[in-house]
Amino acid sequence: MKAPSLRLDRLLANMGYGSRREIQLLGRQGRVTLDGAPVSDVEARVTVTPDLAARMVVDGEALDPPPGMVLLLHKPLGVTCSHKEAGPLVYGLFPPRWRRREPGLSTVGRLDKETSGLLLLTDDGALLHRIISPKSHVAKRYRVTLDRPLRGDEAETFAAGTLMLDGEDKPLLPAEMRALSPMAAEITLREGRYHQVRRMFAAVGNHVVALHRDRMGGLDLPESLAPGAYSVLDEDGIATIFAASAK
């Protein structure tokens, strides 16, 4: 797809750097540079490619990822995947100006407040829908810590494709579970129902005490990424979400 081109003042305004007037001032004062040279004419068009973040500097700092960004966040415990609920929100982990971005950033699906791990966010609505579409078969893998020892029949129950959760009228798709220890398991889902993992273990008489997602499609949560930290995915990273080798 051809990269869009946009007037610089509009691009920066859409990225939350200020009003068009404020951006004009930034330009006049030489506080915006492209490839090392000041850009005084902020009405000039720029091609919006991901490498712009490495080439443009605003007020001494590298430009934020331009529109079309996909972030891999290590979601910490205790933050909510919502724009408006009370308490700490995932969006509070990013620079405040990102709240003024248009298009805005959204989480790709959700993790519960008390679930940690791999969470994708993007401002690309079409990509978001592609990732969550059942047609894309993007599997999600979780590490589960339990309150009670496994009985031994859970993997078979989850794999059957017949398990019905309380209050639902459609059975769950088959899911793969592997015991890691008597009270810990790894589970891979190909759908995402409300509190699904917690409700699956409740259905087999157990209780989830800790839940962590470590994989989506072919993408692993890097061990080097601390809770609350994030990285920007490049094209290869995005392709890995859909990688056929996804388990």
Binding site for ligand URA (CB under 6 A): 111-112, 115, 195-198, 211
Yes or no: say if 66 and 8 are a contact pair by the CB < 8 Å rule.
no
Residue type, 51: D
3-state helix, strand, coil in the chain (%, to 5): 25, 25, 50
Q: Tokens for 165? A: 């959760």
Distance of CA 10 to the CA centre of its chain: 26
Q: Note if the bond before 50 is cis, omega within 30 degrees.
A: no
Catalytic residue among 112, 147, 166, 214: 112
Work out how close the CB of 75 gets to ligand URA at its nearest, in angstroms, rounded to a whole number. Answer: 9
Work out how close the CB of 116 gets to ligand URA at its nearest, in angstroms, rounded to a whole number. Answer: 9
The reply to whether 147 belongs to the active site is: no
Work out how close the CB of 99 gets to ligand URA at its nearest, in angstroms, rounded to a whole number. Answer: 23
- H-type alpha helices, the chain: 8-14, 20-28, 52-55, 125-132, 154-159, 196-203, 235-241
Work out how close the CB of 25 gets to ligand URA at its nearest, in angstroms, rounded to a whole number. Answer: 44
Catalytically active residues, by annotation = 112
